[in-house]
Structure 1
Amino acid sequence: MSPHTNENRDQFRPEEHAHDHFLLTTVVGSYPKPKWLNRAKDLYQDPDHGFDEDDYQEALDDAARLITNEHERAGLDVVVDGEMRRNEMVEFFAHRIDGYEFNGPVKVWGHNYFDKPSVVSEVQYTDSWLVDEYEFTAEATNRPVKVPITGPYTLANWSFNEAYEDEEALAYDLADLVNEEIEKLVEAGARYIQIDEPALATTPDDHAIVGECLKRIVKDIPEEVRIGLHVCYGDYSRIYPEILEFPVDEFDLELANGDYEQLDVFKDPEFTKDLALGVTDVHVAEVESVEQIERNIEKGLEIVPPEQLIVSPDCGVKLLPREVAYGKMANMVEAARNVEKRLDDGELEVRSAQATADD
């Protein structure tokens, strides 16, 4: 029997896909930067060196092509440029939003510092943040490209608020700006957008605020554009099942790091959205075997049927050694293809597709 289809997800299925079943493979976003790119940045920031803006831009372009190609070589169905042009996930966007300013690094833990921005006036959208990045990546590959965007709740929560009555009001204004940016990305051809909200894991009681932000974000966005939400490791029982009401197509969850101890959280009530399951642990600098990743993928099939499953690392892999990051991706893709074949051959018992409100 042919597997069910999932049109929003299957638009990213390769034309020559070898199996009837399809487990979309992708990454959350970040990837280790080549050491020479960090060196290029140092030279660019050195006023006594002749390494100018054009030189640095060429280095960024080369790195983006290289990592996009590395994702292709690993076999990923949907690629990202590894966020080669980005530094920190809030700082990058704050530099591009009117109303933010920077007053120097803030110590966050140990010897780690974060250049935490302040919102000093009403936030406003001027120029696009990511369209150039998306268009460059799309030109560098013949595979679909996913665009990760830091979500408005995290942009508000991880900033000093000196202009708004409260963080909630700031988050809603930022959500309207994210909506404008996604409209620009859609015009440029983007069809897969991921909203990153790591702050939700640390403040789960604010899930209603995140839900309202997402409603503003997806306003007037075409249905064929896939919207995902990435939430880092936390106590998911505090946001489930409420998050099923969020207007997104998929949830990207960090479960490998906790050895899937929270898997049962998502079994009751039924998980009605698509699940982007973390199947490699980005906190461990060792490459999991293909067999181990296959077992991890099977964990996802305990929650959703195959047509609702996406396979990815737990989170961004930027802190791993580059060869480890690549090994995890390549093994992940091989494991997904092996599981697809076993599904085709009827070797795996899986849940049947659930009826949705639209059926």
Structure 2
Amino acid sequence: MTREQFRPDDHDNDHFLLTTVVGSYPKPKWLHRARDLYEDDDHDFDEENFEEAKDDASRLITKEHERCGLDVVVDGEMRRNEMVEYFAHRIDGYEFNGPVKVWGHNYFDKPSVVEEVEYDEEWLISEYEFTSDVADTPVKVPITGPYTLASWSFDEVYDDEEQLAYELAELVNEEIEGLVEAGARYIQIDEPALATTPDDHAIVGECLERIADNVPDDVRLGLHVCYGDYSRIYPEMLEFPVEEFDLELCNGNYEQLDVFKDEEFTKDLALGVVDVHVREPEPVEEIKENIKKGLEVVPPERLTISPDCGLKLLPRDVAYGKMENMVQAAREVEAELDAGEIDIEAPTVSADD
């Protein structure tokens, strides 16, 4: 178990519910303005100015996460424009041909693989080092997984998506090795594409095997999956070589919670307890009830408290309010567990299992 290393030394409660976020967070409006100026040839806002703006935003959001009391923070992905596009720009073999509509009025610049993919420049190592220097609390690194990088790209080179995913897994593995060397001890692989194509869970599992082989025992490796039918990948996903599954359940009013009770949930659960589609902070009491749903699946020592997904599309004050209430709810549930006021329904898995 790697979880206990993230418990603060001065934690008030005997029980500990680890609190964190999935990754993305609303960018300050001035950072969007800085990007516009940088991309406008009529302005002399150069790369040095833009890098300074991203540094300032990363400091601001990292400290905002700490101020609300999170045990493990990220910088809100202030340097990233999108979860696939950002990485594709840093992988040799990709090119871009213009934006593709995703939903509503949201677009992303869907990349094309036009040559064999190769690892060139580092992706997140400098981001992690900067955030770690700024933060007084542990830092988590979210990284888009190889299956999603493959699935959400056009492929003009490889025989099929599976082959491309395996090639990308080797690159993700190389980046994670660099992150571990830089000191990262909590790495979350994001695979939202798995939920939309659950029959490919074996491909995701093989990708993760290629990555996890080189992850030391003291590094916490998690997998984030969202917005799909979990019954189509459970319990098979328990074979994945990760310690924690970060799952979106609040948005669906926990209708899928029973999926994880049919067969014992033997890994750690990072449970979404606030809905990123609701544009107001949920009350503390409501979040507490959501947290208790997680205790129907795993005991407290294997439960992490998190939003459903990234918060980047919310107003910043709403995102902060959700996190602040989420942390308070977790601390209150811990105190109630200490006092014996909550019955734990989840089966306890022994250390030998």
Smaller-chain TM-score range?
A: over 0.9
Instruction: Tell me if 1:36 matches 2:54.
Output: no
Q: What letter is aligned with 2:339? A: D
Instruction: Tell me if 1:118 matches 2:82.
Output: no
Instruction: Tell me if 1:226 matches 2:220.
Output: yes
Instruction: Tell me if 1:353 matches 2:348.
Output: yes
Deviations 1:182-227 (A, max 9, x none): 0000000000000000000100000000000000111221011000
Query: SS at the partner of 1:193?
Result: strand
Equivalence for 1:56: 50
Q: What letter is aligned with 2:218? A: E
Query: SS at the partner of 1:263?
Result: coil
* C-alpha contact (below 8 Å) 2:297/2:347 kept by paired residues: no
Equivalent pairs: percent with the same residue? 76
Q: 2:66 aligns with which of 68, 72, 82?
A: 72
Gaps of 5+ in 1: 1-6
Q: What letter is aligned with 1:211? A: G
Equivalence for 1:3: none
Equivalence for 1:276: 270
Q: 2:241 aligns with which of 221, 243, 247?
A: 247
Query: SS at the partner of 1:285?
Result: coil
Equivalence for 1:320: 314
Question: How many angstroms does 1:115 deviate by?
Answer: 0.7
CA RMSD of superposed structures (Å): 0.9
Count of matched residue pairs: 352
Q: 1:330 aligns with which of 301, 306, 324?
A: 324
Deviations 1:40-83 (A, max 9, x none): 11111111112111111110000000000000001000000000
Question: How many angstroms does 1:352 deviate by?
Answer: 4.7
Q: What letter is aligned with 1:28? A: V
Q: 2:333 aligns with which of 324, 334, 339?
A: 339
Deviations 1:85-117 (A, max 9, x none): 000100000000011111111233444322110
Supply the distance in 2 between the matched residues of 1:283 and 1:40 (Cα, whole angstroms).
27
Supply the distance in 2 between the matched residues of 1:19 and 1:110 (Cα, whole angstroms).
44
Question: How many angstroms does 1:121 deviate by?
Answer: 1.1
Gaps of 5+ in 2: none
Q: What letter is aligned with 2:212? A: V
Q: What letter is aligned with 1:326? A: Y
Supply the distance in 1 between the matched residues of 2:148 and 2:47 (Cα, whole angstroms).
30
Equivalence for 1:290: 284
Query: SS at the partner of 2:251?
Result: helix
Give the alignment of 1:198-209 within 5 angstroms: 198-209=192-203
Query: SS at the partner of 2:258?
Result: helix
Equivalence for 1:211: 205
Q: What letter is aligned with 2:210? A: R
Query: SS at the partner of 1:247?
Result: coil
Supply the distance in 2 between the matched residues of 1:132 and 1:108 (Cα, whole angstroms).
29
Instruction: Tell me if 1:159 matches 2:130.
Output: no
Give the TM-score, by structure 2 length: 0.98
* C-alpha contact (below 8 Å) 2:223/2:242 kept by paired residues: yes
Deviations 1:103-148 (A, max 9, x none): 1112334443221100111111122110000000000011000000
Q: Which moved more, 1:110-119 or 1:242-251?
A: 110-119
Q: 1:141 aligns with which of 123, 135, 142?
A: 135
Instruction: Tell me if 1:130 matches 2:121.
Output: no
Equivalence for 1:4: none
Question: How many angstroms does 1:355 deviate by?
Answer: 2.3
Q: What letter is aligned with 2:350? A: A
